[in-house]
Amino acid sequence: MRLPECRALLTGASGGIGLALAEQLCAGGAQVLAVSRQGLALDELARRYPKQLRRIEADLTSLAGRQTVVEAARSLGGLNLVINAAGVNRFAMLEQLDDQEIADMLGLNLVATVQLTRALLPLLRQQRQALLVNVGSTYGSIGYAGYATYCASKFALRGFSEALRREVADTGVGVLYVAPRATRTSMNSAAAVALNSALKVSMDAPEQVAAEVLKAIVADRSELYLGWPEKFFVRLNGLLPGVVDKALRKQLPLIRQFSNKESHL
């Protein structure tokens, strides 16, 4: 898929990987319908690309918000690219989360994404060739302490992407699952960043992640995993999870230490 031929709908467009994707899609010549809860963050991009970028403010966890997005997509004249990049995260042990925080994470990261995808599939199927991109995480393949609920949402998103890819295999719609590693965005709390620093975990710039995602879109790939040694540990966890259990147990005291700091902020 060539970027100048893309009519793209992008969720989570106001920050982090989503904002970087919006900018690079526009720079590549795509028409972009950028969906976010806070459209003001896209003001500068809209001034630079007034003919390519259209902003939509919508809460994807509500039926009314999703209907607003679908109507905007129809008014664009159809879509051949949907990128589900909206998501939330919270670094905390499970017992430190309340019911609403758990519901919010699962609601946006998984439920709203599945519901919006279902609503947009008829538009994608109208195209000779179209692509759905779901932005997951390395934590969609490796369960990690301090991120149990986030992992639950991303494991499910990975399974959804795989199943949907097989469900639409006899159509012109492809499905790409993207698994970034730790990325420098405002989604990460100070405690999460400090933990990554203590563990010497590399963090990618959102612009770097976006560039790799666009390469995968152009190449019509079905999966993209980012980072080394993260890609190695994903494979190792699939083959020998007990080995990864032992390695990550050694990190548990440090994870608890930083999650306790997070809970007191």
Among 29-38, 184-193, 205-214, 234-243, name the one with the lowest average pLDDT.
Answer: 184-193
Instruction: Give pLDDT tens digits for 167-212.
Output: 999 999 999 999 999 998 888 888 899 999 999 888 999 999 999 9
**What pLDDT does residue 89 have?**
94
Write down the mean pLDDT value for the chain.
94
pLDDT over 60 at 265, yes or no = no
Residue 232 exposure: Cα atoms within 13 Å on the Cβ side? 3
CATH superfamily assigned to domain 3-187+204-228: NAD(P)-binding Rossmann-like Domain (3.40.50.720)
Cis peptide preceding 4, ω within 30 of 0: no
Average pLDDT over residues 238-258: 94
d(CA 105, CA 54): 27
> Residue 263: what pLDDT?
58
pLDDT tens by residue, 92-109: 999 999 999 999 999 999
**7-11 and 173-179 strand pairing:** unpaired
| Vertex 261 angle, CA 231 and 256, to 5° | 50
Where do the structural domains in the chain lie, given as residue ranges? 3-187+204-228
CA 58 to CA 66: how far, in whole Å? 7
- Average pLDDT rounded to a whole number, residues 230-236: 93
Is the confidence at residue 222, as pLDDT, over 70?
yes
